[in-house]
Amino acid sequence: MVENDLIRNARIIMSSADMVYYKKDYTSATILYFKAAFLILDYILLQSKGQTPKDHTERFRMLELSDKNLYVFLDKNFKIYRQTYTTTTDKFTCDKVRENVRKIIKEYKIQI
């Protein structure tokens, strides 16, 4: 049941991210793409490790031990997510995050 909830929530959040993206609210879209990414990463971890992380720190730790590619994505891009707390995000940065999330969905054959 948790697996279905993660995917369902990711699907809803991706849809919301796309809606605000098309309204050119790139900061909100970036936040939502990251939230979808966190759900997808948690789903992948649940599939591979049988558990989900309780917070961002644990997600980093679990990915570092189990999937270097996903860890690198998160490590490289997490600062963008943190910057959305205090600054606006431009289209280029949002596009980069959006493309990376879609790449993970495709590579891991997640049904969104």
pLDDT tens digits, 40-85: 999 999 999 999 999 999 999 999 999 999 999 999 999 999 999 9
CA distance 56 to 54: 7
Q: Which CATH superfamily includes the segment(s) 2-107?
A: Nucleotidyltransferases  domain 2 (1.20.120.330)
Q: Is the pTM of this model over 0.75?
A: yes
- Residue 34 in contact with residue 56, Cβ under 8 Å? no
Domain boundaries, the chain: 2-107
Q: What phi-psi label fits residue 44: left (phi over 0), alpha (psi between -120 and 50 degrees) or beta?
A: alpha
| Amino acid (1-letter code) at residue 47 | Q
Query: Do 26 and 93 meet the contact criterion of CB atoms below 8 Å apart?
Result: yes
The pLDDT of residue 3 is 74
